[in-house]
Structure 1
């Protein structure tokens, strides 16, 4: 299948399944599930041609595993990254590794130094176990900076961590005392 079409469809699915389901008249349940039939119909009303084969191709080809299909294949959801108030995924709490990483851009450092990491419009702060992944995320927003998070120490002090289906680590916030900033070699 055409890579450009897969990427465009993935972006559209992220938009409606994470942030604005109402943009196409789509209803998500509290776990973020939407009927694929309703998704296809809503997309058609918005002038987008989706079908089950394209949706399955996007789900299976996503290297970040952003979406999952229900066991019966009739529903789809974004695995994490929601900003819509109607969704409250029940992730499984898990003890994190000693360190996790967060990629950001230099232009956000002043705010992070003052507030720590906060979820903004999303429900959670997103962290990675992989340095390369965190740096790639930071590059999307400008000159990247790697933040090393003392995740195990946070957990020992009562902070809750979740591990999403796609490998992303989630937490409500990261206070500044748990954040080290710098280059990968200096952390």
Structure 2
């Protein structure tokens, strides 16, 4: 399958598994898992099981995971629908990063980082990943997050299957601009 087809199918899966499963009549379980066979049958963008596996394996951000028996699939994070990823709190690295663009900085300086319509704020363990994330909307601005201080202050962190650090919010006092 070409990179263009992988990208197209990945974007479609993101829409369905992270935001609008109901648009194709798909029901996710409380942990965000969808039945693979049901997904393939109801999908408006037709693809085979092998193509689905290829999208999961080759997605540049590793957004999806198949269950061990490959009968279920879910998005690793980024949901705007309520699900429980069943992640356990973890101690984060001392410093994490967040990629954004300049037009959001005034709001971030006042309110900090908020999850907005998602279930968590997404943070990266390295600058390169944060730059990739920030560059999706323009010239990236990288914010440095004092995760160690947040953890000391009893703020919870989780790490998704693909290494994205998640938290409920990041108050401004923990952000270096």
Matched, 1:93 2:124: no
When normalised by structure 1's length, the TM-score is: 0.92
The equivalent of 1:135 in structure 2 is 131
The equivalent of 1:2 in structure 2 is 2
How far 1:68 sits from its partner (Å)?
Answer: 0.6
How far 1:72 sits from its partner (Å)?
Answer: 1.3
User: Following the alignment from structure 2 to structure 1, what is the Cα–Cα distance between the partners of residues 154 and 37?
Assistant: 42
The equivalent of 2:159 in structure 1 is 163
* Post-superposition CA distance 1:32-69 (Å, at most 9, x none): 100111111211xx3x2121011000011123211111
Matched, 1:107 2:91: no
When normalised by structure 2's length, the TM-score is: 0.97
The secondary structure found in structure 1 opposite 2:113 is coil
The secondary structure found in structure 1 opposite 2:86 is coil
User: Following the alignment from structure 1 to structure 2, what is the Cα–Cα distance between the partners of residues 76 and 18?
Assistant: 11
The secondary structure found in structure 2 opposite 1:6 is helix
How far 1:89 sits from its partner (Å)?
Answer: 1.2
How far 1:160 sits from its partner (Å)?
Answer: 0.2
User: Following the alignment from structure 2 to structure 1, what is the Cα–Cα distance between the partners of residues 40 and 67?
Assistant: 16
The secondary structure found in structure 1 opposite 2:176 is strand
Aligned counterparts, 1:15-26, within 5 A: 15-26=15-26
* Gap regions ≥5 residues in structure 1: 182-187
Name the Cα RMSD after superposition.
Answer: 0.8
How far 1:25 sits from its partner (Å)?
Answer: 0.8
User: Following the alignment from structure 1 to structure 2, what is the Cα–Cα distance between the partners of residues 169 and 14?
Assistant: 18
Aligned counterparts, 1:1-187, within 5 A: 1-43=1-43, 46=44, 48-85=45-82, 87-181=83-177
* Gap regions ≥5 residues in structure 2: none
Aligned length: 177
The secondary structure found in structure 1 opposite 2:97 is strand
The secondary structure found in structure 2 opposite 1:28 is coil
How far 1:12 sits from its partner (Å)?
Answer: 0.4
User: Following the alignment from structure 2 to structure 1, what is the Cα–Cα distance between the partners of residues 93 and 110?
Assistant: 25
